[in-house]
Amino acid sequence: MIGCSNPSELAAVLLARLRNEAIFPHRRVPDTVNPDDRSLSSSLEIVVLMESKKIVVFGSIVQDLVSYTKSFPRPGESVRGTSFHMASGGKGANQAVAAARLGASVKLIARVGNDLSLTAVAPPPATITVNEQGENTIVVTLGANMEPYGPKAERHEQIIANAALVMAQAEVPREANRRIFELAKKHGVKTFFNPAPGEPDPDKQMLALSDIVCMNESEAEFITNIPQQSLDDAKKAAAQVLTMGPQHAIVTLGGKGCVLATKDDPEIQHIPVRKVTAVDTTGAGDCFCGSLAYFIVYGGLSMKDAVERAAGVAALCVTRKGTQSSYWSREEIEREHPSLLR
């Protein structure tokens, strides 16, 4: 590793990497905000711009270290891998990429460490193992993503005020997430919270600040204490989350689709997903969240229709290996599955 004391140099390398890894067709190279802020000695806070200002994602950037193997090792066991690759990841970055590849204008507010490898920025790692069935296990070390923000969140108020939707996840400090959503509420901006990765002590304050909450079964169980063993359990969890503040609560169920609960609709709906052969499910939840944000802001759709289309886009990504690299572009979807966009 090579230490880097020049934030501008670090930002330039990171942005080049995001551009190359995420594959944004016909988009300008992203810019940075405050690249020379010397107060960020151990991390660099950046804003990656993907065109304009409609969706703001406040979240994490990590380095995915992905090993593919026939089966997961048991405790104490070593297994042979079939392939390995490194790529950009992190829930914040993944969701921003998913929305941008559909055509959204996105801003990603995130932090990375100040270490530099010979070829690219080295954000904190996420160690991922994928088996032959496309299932995965992930251990994420968040590093600079978890550094306290303090009053620094305020510098992004104008960016937030100009947004149509602000997204957040649970890979950054809670107090920073809350402040970002408080600023969004101050300016009447819609908020979308993905409480992932799940925690035994979930942030109930964030739920109260959220218009939309999207969680998987384990996250729903942490939040509601309702064991998730059936479709009815997911519906009960979604209904309970609505009592905590959000207008919409979604529980994703993998290949079984998802459930949607909405305050102005007494019926909790099960939304199935198209059947596909999964190759790698890594990042599918992030693809769903980013795609849903796109359809909410740009689709002019009901929430149910937006969720259905986002589920369809997320189903496509599991047919490819990788995380951000597995997300289909708008051009690809228009060519092969046009009904998802019309």
To the question of whether residue 70 is assigned a binding role by annotation, the answer is no
Q: Is the pLDDT of residue 136 over 70?
A: yes
242 token code pair = 């609505």
Strand partners, 168: 58, 193
Quote the mean pLDDT of the chain.
82
In sequence order, the 6+-apart residues with CB closer than 8 A to the CB of 282 are: 64, 66, 128, 130, 136, 138, 322, 323, 326
Classify burial at 202, counting beta carbons within 10 Å of its beta carbon; exposed 0-12, middle 13-18, buried 19 or more.
Answer: buried
Please name which of 65, 39, 41 lies closest in space to residue 115, comparing C-alpha atoms.
41
37, 232, 286, 305: the catalytic one is 286
Of residues 295 and 78, more confidence is placed in 295
Q: Which residue has the higher pLDDT, 303 or 323?
A: 303
Is 245 annotated to bind a ligand? Reply is no
Contact 128, 282 (CB under 8 A): yes
What whole-number percentage of the chain has pLDDT above 70? 77
Least confident of 42-46, 75-79, 203-207, 327-331: 42-46
257: annotated binding-site residue?
yes
290 is known to lie in a ligand binding site: no
Higher per-residue pLDDT: 19 or 174: 174
- Residue 329 is given by DSSP the state P
- Whether 322 has a binding-site annotation, put simply, is yes
Residue-wise pLDDT tens digits, 152-167: 788 899 999 999 999 9
- Determine the pLDDT at residue 124: 60
Q: For residue 289, what is the domain's CATH number? A: 3.40.1190.20
What gap in Å lies between CA 249 and CA 292, rounded to an integer?
13
- pLDDT band of 142, cuts 50, 70, 90: low
- Please tell me the total count of domains within the chain: 1
Instruction: Establish whether 232 is a catalytic residue.
Output: no
Map residue 165 onto helix, strand or coil.
Answer: strand
- pLDDT digit string, tens, across residues 238-285: 999 999 999 999 999 999 999 999 999 999 999 999 999 998 888 999
pLDDT band at 78 (very low <50, low <70, confident <90, very high): confident
Look at residue 25 in the predicted model and tell me its pLDDT. Answer: 35
The reply, when asked if residue 213 is annotated as ligand binding, is: no
Q: Is the pLDDT of residue 106 over 80?
A: yes
Of 63 and 17, more confident: 63
pLDDT in tens, 207-224: 999 999 999 999 999 999
- Give the residue numbers spanning the domain of 242: 2-341
pLDDT at residue 149 tops 80: no
Q: How far apart are the first and last CA of the chain?
A: 48
Query: Annotation-wise, does 326 bind a ligand?
Result: yes
pTM summary value: 0.80
